[in-house]
């Protein structure tokens, strides 16, 4: 039976990197969910190399729209794309402004909470019935971040994105506790040289020397996360924040 993997925000950055790696494996059905399936970045996914017996499917899913996750899963079922899901990776999210608490605006808090938190919950609820039909231990993971850490808060202003990742962590842990059959955990890609990662470094005034010390390339991050996803279990990582290199860190 084909292993079915659904990745949101799969047309660029980390999502695209993970998508490419799953497509290269044999006997997989890889579903690229993104806001604009007809856009150039989404259409370009069809040119990625594929392993034997592996196919690519594209579906519309905007993490800022609650109903989209449910419509996306219904579309997969009605089109005969998937009768189960084995791995769901909630990669879609935003990080576009990094204010201090004294300066953060309501619209920016809401602008991060909607895709990063509401979108996570909607994806879980929509995918849950098909995850339950998996013949293996199903995985539901979202992109975690130390930006939401309570134990070791980062020394940067981050009053819009940070709280959204903290709330996301709460849902990840509660899903793990509520569904004993589902492996729910957060996967931290590290501080990666992507458009978002580089924008954050610029906003924080991080110099090139510091970037070289703390930031990593997309290839290293995605290779590491794929390895984690291929070996992780609920017993080992359930409800936890796991770095791309396999290390577990405190929330």
CATH number at residue 222: 3.40.50.720
Summarize pLDDT for 48-90 with one digit per residue, the tens.
Answer: 999 999 999 999 999 999 999 999 999 999 999 999 999 999 9
Tokens in use for 124?
């879980």
**According to the model, what pLDDT value does residue 213 have?**
54
The answer to whether residue 240 scores a pLDDT higher than 80 is yes
For residue 235, give its domain range. 3-249
Sequence-separated (6 or more) residues with CB below 8 Å from residue 89: 5, 6, 7, 8, 15, 18, 141, 142, 143, 187, 229
Summarize pLDDT for 192-207 with one digit per residue, the tens.
Answer: 676 666 666 666 666 6
Long-range contacts of 96-103 (CB under 8 A, 24+ apart): 96/199, 97/160, 97/161, 97/203, 98/156, 98/157, 98/158, 98/159, 98/160, 98/161, 98/200, 98/203, 98/204, 99/157, 99/159, 99/160, 100/157, 100/159, 101/157, 101/159, 103/157, 103/159
Q: Is 165 a catalytic residue?
A: yes
Q: Tell which residue, 12, 46, 1, 7, has the closest CA to residue 30.
A: 7
Do 127 and 178 meet the contact criterion of CB atoms below 8 Å apart? no
Tokens 């998996």 appear where?
134
Bridge partners of 153, per DSSP, are none
Q: Which of 22, 118, 124, 165 is catalytic?
A: 165
Angle between helices 161-178 and 119-131 (to 10 degrees): 30
Q: Is 234 a catalytic residue?
A: no
DSSP string over 111-171: HHHIIIIIHHHHHHHHHHHHHTT-SS--EEEEE--GGG-SSS--SS--TTHHHHHHHHHHH
Summarize pLDDT for 91-123 with one digit per residue, the tens.
Answer: 999 999 999 999 999 999 999 999 999 999 999
Query: What is the count of structural domains for the chain?
Result: 1
Q: What single DSSP character describes residue 5?
A: E
Band (pLDDT 50/70/90 cuts) for residue 163 is very high
Strands 139-143 and 87-90: parallel
Q: Which of 161, 234, 240, 244 is catalytic?
A: 161
Give the C-alpha separation, 147 to 155, whole Å: 9
Q: In b/e form, how buried is each residue of 103-141, taking b as 16+ CB within 10 angstroms?
A: ebeeebbebbbbbbbbbbbbbbebbbebbeebeeebbbb
Q: Tell which residue, 17, 9, 167, has the closest CA to residue 88.
A: 9
* Residues counted in the chain: 251
The answer to whether residue 217 scores a pLDDT higher than 70 is yes
pTM of the model: 0.93
């Amino acid at each position: 039976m084909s292993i079915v993997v659904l990745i949101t925000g799969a047309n660029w950055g980390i999502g695209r990197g993970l998508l490419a790696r799953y497509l290269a494996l044999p006997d997989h059905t890889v579903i690229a969910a993104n806001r604009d399936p007809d856009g150039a970045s989404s259409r370009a996914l069809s040119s990625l190399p594929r392993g034997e017996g592996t196919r690519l499917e594209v579906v519309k899913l905007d993490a800022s729209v609650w109903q989209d996750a449910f419509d996306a899963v219904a579309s997969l079922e009605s089109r005969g794309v998937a009768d189960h899901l084995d791995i769901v990776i909630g990669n879609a999210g935003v990080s576009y402004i990094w204010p201090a608490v004294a300066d953060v605006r309501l619209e920016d808090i809401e602008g991060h909470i909607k895709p990063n938190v509401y979108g996570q919950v909607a994806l879980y609820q929509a995918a849950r019935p098909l995850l339950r039909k998996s013949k293996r231990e199903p995985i539901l993971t979202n992109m975690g971040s130390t930006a939401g850490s309570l134990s070791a808060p980062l020394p940067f202003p981050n009053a819009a994105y940070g709280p959204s990742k903290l709330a996301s962590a709460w849902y990840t842990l509660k899903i793990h506790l509520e569904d004993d059959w589902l492996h729910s955990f957060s996967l931290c890609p590290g501080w990666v040289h992507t458009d978002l990662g580089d924008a954050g470094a610029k906003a924080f005034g991080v110099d090139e020397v510091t970037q070289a010390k703390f930031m990593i390339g997309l290839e290293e991050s995605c290779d590491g996360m794929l390895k984690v996803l291929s070996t992780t279990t609920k017993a080992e990582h359930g409800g936890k924040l796991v770095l791309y290199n396999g290390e577990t860190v405190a929330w």
